[in-house]
Amino acid sequence: MTATTLSLPVERTRRPSQSRAEAVAAYVLSAPAIICLFGILLLPTLATFVLSFTDWQFGAPTLRWIGLDNYVHLAGDRVFWKSLTNTVVYVAVVVPCSVLLGLGAALLIEAGTSGRAFYRAAFFLPVTATLIAMATVWEIMLHPSIGLINVLIEALGFSKQNWLKDPELALFALAGIGIWQALGLNMVLLLAGLKSIPRDLYEAAAIDGADGPWTRFVTVTLPMLGPALSFVLIISAIRSFQVFDTVAVLTEGGPNKATEVLLYTMYQEGFGFFRAGYGAAITVVFLVFVLLLTLIKARLAEKRVHYS
Amino acid sequence: MSGVSIQRISKSFGQTRVLRDVSLEVGPREFLTLLGPSGCGKSTLLRIIAGLEQADEGSIALGGQQVDGLLPRQRDVAMVFQSYALYPYMTVAENIGLPLLMRRTRAWQRLPLIRRLHPVARAAAGTIATDVRRAAEALQIAPYLERKPSQLSGGQRQRVALARAMVRNPRVFLMDEPLSNLDAKLRVSARAEIADLHRRAGVAFIYVTHDQAEAMTMSDRVGLMMDGEILQVAPPGEIYDEPAALRVAEFIGSPKINTLPGVVRADGGVAVPGGVLEGGSGLAAGTEVVAGIRPEHWILGMSGASGSLGALSGTVRHLENLGSDLFLYAESQGGGPLLTVRAAPETVRQVSPGTAVALKPRPGRVLLFDRSGQRLRARP
């Protein structure tokens, strides 16, 4: 995070005492924002970072500095590696699917003439719903014997699956729920992006000969959607890195750690086993990933995708 | 063979009729300007010619070929938009070259890797680069070919839009207020450039604007549109001197034409409030008319001799000295709105607010309209 100084176009021909008074006033006025920024965002992050070098047990009166021990332990922890791999697989499935489906839905809605508001609201519904409550509904839907999904699959001639209990399938079942949930927000953001493309450009493209659906899409829509698309990609990546509630409600990391993900492991270590220091170390790893994505986003924002 | 032939076009958006039975012929090398206030339907007509809008009725032929139902691409027209509609993520060269790229290559030849490797695609890229450079040099934007539109000034962007239009030699140029985003000085020089472009291109231009200066300076003919109808199509001088309707006379000319309600007298003169406009109108006595006199068609007298036949008398209320021209705003004794009079700038030594003046129209310069606004051809 960087601090930027704003220079206001104020006359600079004042007496020194007056300019000092101005400086004091400036600090006093910005103090609430600075205090909040540090107190709510920066200090907790720093505290987590510091805690990750200690052996603090949640609620314990004392703690000991143990240096990199937590990280060394992490490097050899089979559960952590399983959890990290699962998280990356989850992100790798959810991000492309939810962005592509969101883009498809946005394009279809934008191209349609009637019922736009209905489709928009319908796709957006999962975003507004409480995921814990929705997870329970999904649990019933995915139920091995009475679940709607298995009933449908059987009607189509396939064999029933035990979605949440099969180690091969559980993570992808959760990813499916993740896509269902992320799709709506991606669609709304991309719809806004589509709306902001000037109609003139499509008309110029029509006259220039770029008028087939595919040519028009790659000549105008996709490049003009660049800013919105990169934002959506990064936001859905960060959000799917944070996957927690479906795991906690539906599988608790099982079966046999098949759905163990970073935040769930962190939660287990920190609040299940009370190893707060170790949990903090996992959080730091998690933060590094999110920070990396944020950096990519900032870099993308600088280059290419913005044209103004 | 005609350049553009527009037959009885009508168009409605919902309940609003924006074009009513519009017909127009544009010569193969003609520069025709559609002039009118905003909302008169001129842009819609242009977009129908381009194929961006479908007409409800009527048909259009370009170069003798019916184009109704054809896509914009198939009509072989070029269009310059008010916003320029440049692709912001492409360089100037890519912007200008896009119409050529789309016509000279197939979709699969434009795919990233194939574009560089396939012989046809590479050959096309070579000829496109040559043509783009030629167009850019003609419009003096060759030094900016590798820049993005956002790095260019308004005038340069406008030239890029023109270059993109001229690069593939279309059979008609359509321009939708291409100068309205430029500042006043640039607009004057851009006018000369577009007129020059027209001479070199040698094809029909249809130019839409609400600015009469653009219409008068560049066009071979001006089509004046109001409320979805073309009121008159004529060369600039004729549309100014011989307007077909009062609305045309009022729209063209700045300051606006003076209008006086009057009645034709037995001797052919026209009685207006405060005086009589002399001369044989050839109209039946008692005909109710509106007399229009342009500001430069008054003869200004200093006598102040009131009531003398064939003259109006009034009092100067306000002066505008533009250096090259002096405009007097005089209150007629007969009342009504202030009369606008153009006088030589030297006159400023003789008049000031409050000066009594006598006004007489130049012989043969009174335009008569009936009370519905239609031109009456005989003059007083």
Q: Residues A121-152: pLDDT tens digits?
A: 888 888 888 878 888 888 888 888 788 888 88
Cα four-point dihedral sign B51, B53, B56, B58 = negative
Please report where in the chains the tokens 């051809």 appear, as a residue.
B377
Q: How many domains does chain A have?
A: 1
Confidence of residue B290 (pLDDT cuts 50, 70, 90): very high
- The angle formed by the CA atoms of residues B11, B14 and B17, to the nearest 5 degrees, is 40
Maximum separation of any 2 CA atoms in chain B, in Å: 89
- Cα–chain center distance at B48: 18
Residue A104 lies in a domain: yes
CB of A214 within 8 Å of a chain B CB? The answer is: yes
Predicted TM-score of the model (pTM): 0.79
Partner residue facing B73 (CB), from A207, A223, A304? A207
* Interface contact flag, B83 A211, Cβ < 8 Å: no
Cβ partners under 8 Å of residue A259, min gap 6? A86, A170, A171, A174, A247, A251, A253
Give the count of beta carbons closer than 10 Å to the beta carbon of residue A4.
Answer: 4
Residue A84 and residue A285 in contact, taking contact as beta carbons nearer than 8 Å: yes
Cα distance from A307 to chain B (closest Cα, Å)? 6
Cα→Cα distances B291→B249, B310, B362, B370, B371, Å: 11, 14, 13, 9, 10
Cα distance from A102 to chain B (closest Cα, Å)? 23
Q: Which residues pair with B174 in a beta bridge?
A: B79, B206
Q: Is the pLDDT of residue A12 over 80?
A: no
Q: Is the pLDDT of residue A61 over 90?
A: no
- Decide: helix, strand or coil at residue B220: coil
CB of B72 within 8 Å of a chain A CB? The answer is: yes
Q: Residues A233-248: pLDDT tens digits?
A: 888 988 888 888 888 8
User: Minimal Cα distance from B111: which residue of A?
Assistant: A218
Average pLDDT over chain A, rounded to whole?
83
C-alpha to C-alpha distance for A164 and A147, rounded to whole angstroms: 12
C-alpha to C-alpha distance for A59 and A276, rounded to whole angstroms: 9
User: Minimal Cα distance from B104: which residue of A?
Assistant: A209
In the prediction, which pLDDT does B378 show? 62
Cβ partners under 8 Å of residue B338, min gap 6? B317, B318, B329, B330, B331
* Interface contact flag, B73 A206, Cβ < 8 Å: yes
Q: Is the pLDDT of residue A113 over 80?
A: no
Q: Residues A253-262: pLDDT tens digits?
A: 778 888 888 8
Confidence of residue A157 (pLDDT cuts 50, 70, 90): confident
Chain A residues with beta carbon closer than 8 angstroms to that of B81: 200, 203-204
Residue A125 lies in a domain: yes
Confidence of residue A93 (pLDDT cuts 50, 70, 90): very high
Chain A residues with beta carbon closer than 8 angstroms to that of B86: 204
What's the token pair of residue B268?
A: 């052919």
In the prediction, which pLDDT does A257 show? 80
B340: nearest Cα among B363, B359, B324, B323: B359
Q: Is the peptide bond before A16 cis (omega within 30 degrees of 0)?
A: no
What's the token pair of residue B261?
A: 């309600």
Q: Is the pLDDT of residue B356 over 80?
A: yes
Q: A196, A200, A208: best mutation site toward chain B, by most B Cβ within 10 Å?
A: A208
Confidence of residue B380 (pLDDT cuts 50, 70, 90): very low
Element of type H or E holding A53: none
Query: Where in the sequence is the domain holding A82, given as residue range(s)?
Result: 69-302
Chain B residues with beta carbon closer than 8 angstroms to that of A215: 102, 107
Chain B residues with beta carbon closer than 8 angstroms to that of A204: 79, 81, 85-87
B206: nearest Cα among B233, B187, B244: B233
* Interface contact flag, B72 A220, Cβ < 8 Å: no
- Identify the residue with better confidence: B351 or A297: B351
- Identify the residue with better confidence: A53 or A308: A53
In the prediction, which pLDDT does A1 show? 41
In the prediction, which pLDDT does B237 show? 93
Give residue B172's region: left, alpha or beta (phi > 0; psi -120 to 50): beta
Residue A102 and residue A90 in contact, taking contact as beta carbons nearer than 8 Å: no
Residue A287 and residue A198 in contact, taking contact as beta carbons nearer than 8 Å: no
Partner residue facing A201 (CB), from B87, B99, B103? B87
For chain B, domains (ranges, CATH) are 4-246 (3.40.50.300), 257-376 (2.40.50.140)
CATH number for the domain harbouring residue A224: 1.10.3720.10
In the prediction, which pLDDT does A212 show? 83
In the prediction, which pLDDT does A3 show? 47
Cα four-point dihedral sign A90, A91, A92, A95 = positive
Q: Residues B46-92: pLDDT tens digits?
A: 999 999 999 999 999 998 889 988 898 888 899 999 989 999 989 99
* Interface contact flag, B73 A224, Cβ < 8 Å: no
In the prediction, which pLDDT does B307 show? 47
- Decide: helix, strand or coil at residue B23: strand
Chain B residues with beta carbon closer than 8 angstroms to that of A304: 89
C-alpha to C-alpha distance for A269 and A282, rounded to whole angstroms: 9
- Cα–chain center distance at B69: 28
Confidence of residue B240 (pLDDT cuts 50, 70, 90): very high
* Interface contact flag, B52 A212, Cβ < 8 Å: no
In the prediction, which pLDDT does A190 show? 92
Residue A17 lies in a domain: no
Residue A41 lies in a domain: no
Q: Is the pLDDT of residue A304 over 80?
A: no
In the prediction, which pLDDT does B187 show? 87
B200: nearest Cα among B1, B29, B25: B29
Residue A86 and residue A260 in contact, taking contact as beta carbons nearer than 8 Å: yes
Determine what percent of chain B is predicted with pLDDT higher than 90. 40
Average pLDDT over chain B, rounded to whole?
87
Q: Is the pLDDT of residue A7 over 60?
A: no
Segment B280-284 shows an average pLDDT of: 74
Residue A19 lies in a domain: no
- This complex has an ipTM of 0.82
* Interface contact flag, B99 A215, Cβ < 8 Å: no
Helix, strand, coil proportions of chain B in percent (round to 5)? 30, 30, 35
Segment A8-21 shows an average pLDDT of: 67
What's the token pair of residue B36?
A: 């009118």
At B306, give phi and psi (nearest 5°): -80, 150
Chain B residues with beta carbon closer than 8 angstroms to that of A223: 87, 89
Segment A87-102 shows an average pLDDT of: 93
Residue A179 lies in a domain: yes
C-alpha to C-alpha distance for A243 and A266, rounded to whole angstroms: 12
What's the token pair of residue B161?
A: 């839009």
| Strand pairing category for B172-176 and B16-26 | unpaired
